[in-house]
Each structure stands twice: as C-alpha cells, then as structure tokens.
Amino acid sequence: MKQDQTEPISVIIADDHVLYRAGVKTSLSAKKDIRVIAEADNGMHLLNIIRNIQPDVILLDIQMPIMDGIATLPEIKKLCPQTKVIMLTFMEDNSMITKLMELGANSYLAKTSDSEVIYEAIKTCVAQEYFFNSMTNKALLTNLKQRNVAPPPQMMQAEAVLNDKETTILRLMCEEKSTKEIADIVELSPRTVEAIRDKLKVKTGAKSTAGLIMYAVKHKIIEEL
C-alpha cells in the first residue's frame, strides 16, 4: 500500500509484444494517478529492472520468451513482496488461474480486456490487494470442485467456527463487493470490516483473499458465484 496516496501508482509492463505494451502504456499514461516507469520484454529482463526499482504494480504476460510469467511470478514475490502482480493472457485456463493465484498473483486479466478494466484492476489491487472478476472467481470455484480435494494445507485449516457477521462478510467478499460496499451492507465501518477480514484469515488459516474464497467453497459457505 502506498504511504502517500497523492503519489501516482508506479507500474511496469512486462510483455514481449511491443505493440501491446505501447497500447497499454498509452492508455495508462492518460491517467493522472498512474505512471508507467519501465517496460520489459521477458521475465529475466523484468527481474533485472526490479532489483533497482520496485513498482507498486506489475502487468505480467504469461507467455514470454527466455523466462515466462509463470516462472517469473515467484521471483517477483521474493524480490518485491509488496508489489501487486496482474497476470495477462489470451488463455482462460481454470487450473492455470488457480495455480497463479496460489503463487501470489493479485489478479488475472484477458489481454483483450478494455483499458478501463486494466486501470480498475490496478487501482483495486493497490487499494484492496486483489481484483477478482468473473474469470478468476469461476476458475477458483471450478478447479476446486474438479479436484475435489482440500486446498493446500498451508492455505487453510480444517474448519473454523464463524459467527453470522463473519459468514456474511465472507459471502460478500466472494461476490466481489468492495470494503466500503460491505461496510454499508453490514452497517459497520470500513476499518471494522478490514479487521474482521483479517480475523477471518487467522481463523481459517488462509494466507490471502484467494484462500478465503477457496475456504468458502470448500465449506459450502457459498456454492456458486
């Protein structure tokens, strides 16, 4: 999270297609609260850049030469644990999306996404850690059901006892509601909602919002989105 919200969000675009990078950079450059500070054409190039400058957000293409996005993602998280990573791809692969979210991706967007969606994803990841959309939600739910196994043990415990308020907030999180929207619905302050969300992670053993969604599905707190 940026300490000074008046500072523009710094972004690095990592994609081997020059025209795609140029298009995204042009659209984001029109936003006063976004600043594209660097570009990379493969994962190795990107890692060399972030050893010197740590951006708020990285737009990371999955398919790149030399070092692809899948191999690069864990390395980014080691070098810049606070940096949000938004994966970009032409493929809608449920198992791949789930794998990448478990590895630490903060969102997953189709490369055909409108520039406004990319902008929204960047802003949401910085403010709320994750940007979920119909593609990520469907993947997390579908893959979990197909595997019919418990999520990785490091992500959650067997079962937690949640009170009605916690269950309601978890359901609303799965419905992509923002912290403010949830606060309005349950008639609590946003700060209290954030505290309950953190408590949910402790109770369930989830390490991330993706882990909480998996927990909600596994324990039938929410059946379908």
CB of 33 within 8 A of CB of 9? yes
More confident residue, 139 or 119: 119
> How confident is the model over 23-28, as a mean pLDDT?
95
- Does position 64 have pLDDT exceeding 80, yes or no? yes
User: Degrees (nearest 5) of the Cα angle 192, 197, 198?
Assistant: 95
Domain ranges across the chain = 9-134, 150-218
Confidence of residue 148 (pLDDT cuts 50, 70, 90): low
pLDDT in tens, 48-62: 999 999 999 999 999
Write the DSSP string, 27-51: HHHT-TTEEEEEEESSHHHHHHHHT
CATH of span 9-134: 3.40.50.2300
Looking at residue 30, its pLDDT comes to 92
Say if residues 44 and 90 touch (Cβ distance below 8 Å).
no
Which residues on neighbouring strands pair with residue 59, listed in sequence order?
A: 13, 86
Which residues, including other chains, have CB under 8 Å from residue 155's CB and lie 6 or more apart? 102, 205, 206, 207, 208, 211, 214
Q: Which CATH architecture has domain 150-218?
A: Orthogonal Bundle (1.10)
pLDDT of residue 178: 82
d(CA 117, CA 178): 16
